[in-house]
Amino acid sequence: MAVCIPLSLKMSPSASLGFRFLLTEQYSSRKLLNYLTGLCRRGYSGKAQQAVEESGVSAAGFSGPLDHYSGLIRDGSLREDEHQKAVLQTLDQLHKTLRGYSNTPTSIFSKFFTKPKPPKGYYIYGDVGKRDGLQSYKCTGKTMVMDMFYSYVETEKKKRVHFHGFMLDVHKRIHRLKQSMPKRKAGKMAKSYDPIAPVAEEISEEACLLCFDEFQVTDIADAMILKQLFENLFLNGVVVVATSNRPPEDLYKNGLQRVNFVPFIAVLQKYCQTLRLDSGIDYRKRNRPSAGKLYFLSSEPGVEARLDKMFDELAFKQNDITRPRVLNVNNRKVRLNKACGTIADCTFEELCDRPLGASDYLEMSRLFDTIFIRHIPLLTLNKKTQARRLITLVDALYDHKVRVVILADHPLEEMFVHNGDHGHDESHILMDDLGLKRDEASSLSIFSGEEERFAFQRTVSRLTEMQTEEYWVEGDRSTKSQV
């Protein structure tokens, strides 16, 4: 079986050593793909091809994502899925189309010629799964398809990001540009300044291809700027490929002020073709070896002491002492009461009851490779804000291969429930502030919990995969000190 070496993949010199080790140990192509994909996500720079040449190992590269997919099927690493194959055939063609494509002038003469029309991107959607995968599948649906396509695109100007993290960066850029504007003089009206177009231009200069994982819109601040932002990105020649659990027309469904969001859907559909990838199988929940017990119930006898012992065993291998840790996030201090090296022992209250967000969770994902989350309660609509934070937290941890040990009051599949009793919680107060009657608010996702229920399906799926041996081993950063 020929080993795939995506020519466009980047890694550091130290990462190259680890890569050569994998080659000399004759790892399977699937393990190599996992390793390369992990490096792609972490943004390491350099050239994989150079590492192969230095290793002295002959490796015939595949011609593209479809060829690679077919090769993995031939050697038994994957079982063929017609839905995935159809999507990969389309992405394989886009990969060929993007060869040599650039959305910026390549020479001083470029401005005298007509700008090449950018190819259409793709919006790939499908459910997280409808049943446990009993077959021995060895692939991961939309994420695998995206990773395989991205690794073969032959351009330096490409970015693969989680959509939530991308929008966080956009808001930071907007804030920076607004802060850079001259202060208005007393008594004079300030000139209106719209930073969205300049931000889109900045991003366009950095990337001609943007690949988004988990494209979803739950934040009204995001919803209100998406049309203008993406319209400018597309006009600047940026090609977008995205995965999502929802079709475009269901994005921000029943969200506040959705009427102002709807025009974005038309823009997205104009510049991106929609592909459905939904075989009804949740690949993350297929039968795979477990990493041991990582999900505990509060009702189990002696469970706290058992988690304490697990933490102590992991902490023993760290070159550190157990102590509180203060994280610096955007000039804010976030205190965690118990940590040791790359291990953090937290409570649900610490992580989700406090006003933390994606930037805080991304910083934790950068610093820790294992996080204990204790005392997760039953998440009803009265705890919708905390549930939303947990969803964001798990997304960040999963994207960075952070391992979790969980102590919860209820089994994973029963952790999040929907009930119709809003009582006198914050939703009721917000309804009053917005001047909405109960029947008017019932259709809005912010009050119905629809977005949370949908997103929590993905959270359950991801937490299931995070309990597997494969995930646990891959997330151990102590074995990847060379990367």
In tens, the pLDDT along 381-390 reads 778 889 889 9
CA 31 from centre of chain: 21
- How far is it, in rounded angstroms, from Cα 252 to Cα 340? 40
Burial track 204-222 (b if 16+ CB lie within 10 A, e otherwise): beebbbbbbbbbbbbbeeb
Q: 298: how many CB neighbours lie within 10 A of its CB? A: 14
pLDDT surpassing 70 at residue 33: no
20: Cβ contacts below 8 Å, ≥ 6 apart: 51, 52, 54, 55, 57
Q: What is the average per-residue pLDDT within 395-402? A: 92
Q: Which residue has the higher pLDDT, 12 or 350?
A: 350
Average pLDDT of the chain to the nearest whole number: 77
Q: Are the C-beta atoms of residues 422 and 381 closer than 8 Å to each other?
A: yes
pLDDT recorded at residue 112: 55
What token pair was written down for 73? Answer: 């099927």
Name the nearest CA neighbour of 142 among 272, 4, 41, 278.
Answer: 278
Q: Are the C-beta atoms of residues 369 and 308 closer than 8 Å to each other?
A: no
pLDDT recorded at residue 394: 95
User: Which domains are present in the chain?
Assistant: 1-61 (no CATH), 74-103+116-130+137-179+194-284 (3.40.50.300), 287-480 (3.40.50)
pLDDT bracket for residue 63 (50, 70, 90):
confident
pLDDT surpassing 80 at residue 393: yes
Helix pair angle (141-152, 29-42), 10° resolution? 80
pLDDT bracket for residue 43 (50, 70, 90):
very low
End-to-end CA distance of the chain: 26
Longest dimension (CA), the chain: 76
Which of 6-15, 27-36, 63-72 bottoms out in mean pLDDT, i.e. has the lowest? 6-15
Q: Which residue has the higher pLDDT, 456 or 186?
A: 456
Torsion of Cα atoms, 441 then 443 then 446 then 451, to 10°? 170
pLDDT surpassing 70 at residue 453: no
Read out DSSP for 116-163?
Answer: PPPPPEEEEE--S-SSB--S-----HHHHHHHHHHHH---SSEEEEEH
Name the nearest CA neighbour of 217 among 446, 462, 464.
Answer: 446
pLDDT recorded at residue 209: 96
pLDDT surpassing 50 at residue 17: no
What token pair was written down for 64? Answer: 């593209």
pLDDT recorded at residue 194: 84
Which one-letter DSSP state was computed for residue 353? Answer: I
pLDDT recorded at residue 105: 66
pLDDT bracket for residue 483 (50, 70, 90):
very low
pLDDT surpassing 70 at residue 408: yes
pLDDT surpassing 60 at residue 35: no
pLDDT surpassing 80 at residue 86: yes
Read off the amino acid at residue 275: L
Which of 22-36, 313-327, 430-444 bottoms out in mean pLDDT, i.e. has the lowest? 22-36
